[in-house]
């Protein structure tokens, strides 16, 4: 989904997960990059599955016409399932599970420079490469 005249359109990111983790990850990535534009945090704290769906729908609705990546902390969790429901039937939204800080730093650096499919592939590589024995 690229614009032929100006390159790829910016991709918006939603960090969605348990407790305070989404905000902490988004804040840390923004501190490292120096820019938080295009990235919000949504917590599941105190939300049942219906309200999680509503919170994600509201975050998505706030960015019409944009491609979106929903970064989720844990595969198979209630947050992951809510992310998958938000993506159902849409090719402009994707869920990526197992979010980590290097992934979000790279997202903020590349969200304006890569189309959605390429950015997703980059996020997966970055997330995996960041997991290594110390």
CATH number at 32 reads 3.40.50.510
Four-CA torsion 27, 116, 45, 47, nearest 10 degrees? 160
Over residues 51-86, the pLDDT tens digits come to 999 999 999 999 988 999 999 999 999 999 999 999
pTM of the shown model: 0.92
In a domain, 124, yes or no: yes
**Domain that residue 6 falls in:** 2-129
How many domains is the chain built from? 1
In a domain, 57, yes or no: yes
In a domain, 134, yes or no: no
**Residue 6 in this model has a pLDDT that exceeds 80:** no
Give the contacts of 121 (CB within 8 A, at least 6 positions apart). Answer: none
In a domain, 116, yes or no: yes
């Amino acid at each position: 989904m690229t614009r032929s005249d100006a390159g790829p359109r910016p991709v918006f990111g939603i960090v969605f997960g348990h407790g305070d983790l989404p905000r902490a990850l988004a804040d840390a990535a923004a501190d490292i990059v120096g820019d938080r534009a295009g990235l919000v945090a949504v917590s599941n704290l105190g939300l049942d599955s219906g309200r999680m769906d509503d919170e994600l729908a509201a975050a998505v609705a706030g960015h019409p016409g944009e491609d979106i990546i929903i970064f989720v902390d844990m595969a198979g969790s209630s947050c992951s399932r809510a992310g998958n429901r938000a993506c159902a039937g849409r090719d402009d939204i994707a869920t990526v599970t197992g979010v980590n800080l290097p992934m979000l730093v790279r997202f903020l650096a590349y969200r304006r420079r890569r189309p959605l499919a390429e950015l997703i592939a980059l996020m997966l590589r970055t997330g995996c490469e960041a997991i290594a024995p110390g």
